[in-house]
Amino acid sequence: MLPPVKRYPNPEDGGGHAAVPGAGAANGPEPGPPGAAAELPSVREHTWRRLDTGFAGGARNMAVDEAILQQHAAGAVPPTLRFYGWQPPAVSIGYFQSMAGEVDRDACRRLGIGWVRRPTGGWAILHHMELTYSVVVREELLPGGVLETYRALAQGLLTGLRSLGAPAELSALPAAHPAEMNTSACFEHPSQYELVVGGRKLVGSAQTRKQGTILQHGAILLDIDYDLTFAVLRLSPEERTRQAALLRRRAVGLQEALGRRVTWEEARDAVAAGFAQALGLRLQTSELIAPELAGVQVLEREKYGNPEWNERK
Tens of pLDDT along 181-221? 454 455 554 455 579 999 999 999 999 999 999 999 999 99
Interval 141-165 mean pLDDT: 95
Per the annotation, the verdict on 186 as an active-site residue is yes
Q: Where residue 17 falls among pLDDT bands split at 50, 70, 90?
A: very low
Q: Is 34 among the domain residues?
A: no
Q: Where residue 111 falls among pLDDT bands split at 50, 70, 90?
A: very high
Residue 246, number of CB atoms within 10 A of its CB: 17
* Catalytic site residue from 91, 108, 166, 186: 186
Q: Is 240 among the domain residues?
A: yes
148 half-sphere exposure, CB direction, 13 A CA radius: 13
Q: Is 256 among the domain residues?
A: yes
Structural domain for 65, as ranges: 17-27+40-307
Q: Is 190 among the domain residues?
A: yes
Q: Is 103 among the domain residues?
A: yes
pLDDT value for 254: 98
What CATH number has the domain bearing residue 245?
Answer: 3.30.930.10
Q: Rounded to whole angstroms, what are the CA distances from 34 to 20, 101, 135?
A: 14, 34, 21
pTM score, whole prediction: 0.85
- Taking a C-beta distance cutoff of 8 angstroms, is the pair 9, 190 a contact? no
How many domains does the chain contain in total? 1
List, for residues 29-47, the tens digit of each pLDDT value: 333 333 444 468 889 999 9
Q: Is 9 among the domain residues?
A: no
Q: Give the whole-angstrom CA distance, residue 19 versus residue 155.
A: 18
Q: Is 33 among the domain residues?
A: no
Per the rule left: phi > 0, alpha: psi between -120 and 50, beta: everything else, 126 is beta
Q: Is 35 among the domain residues?
A: no
pLDDT value for 2: 33
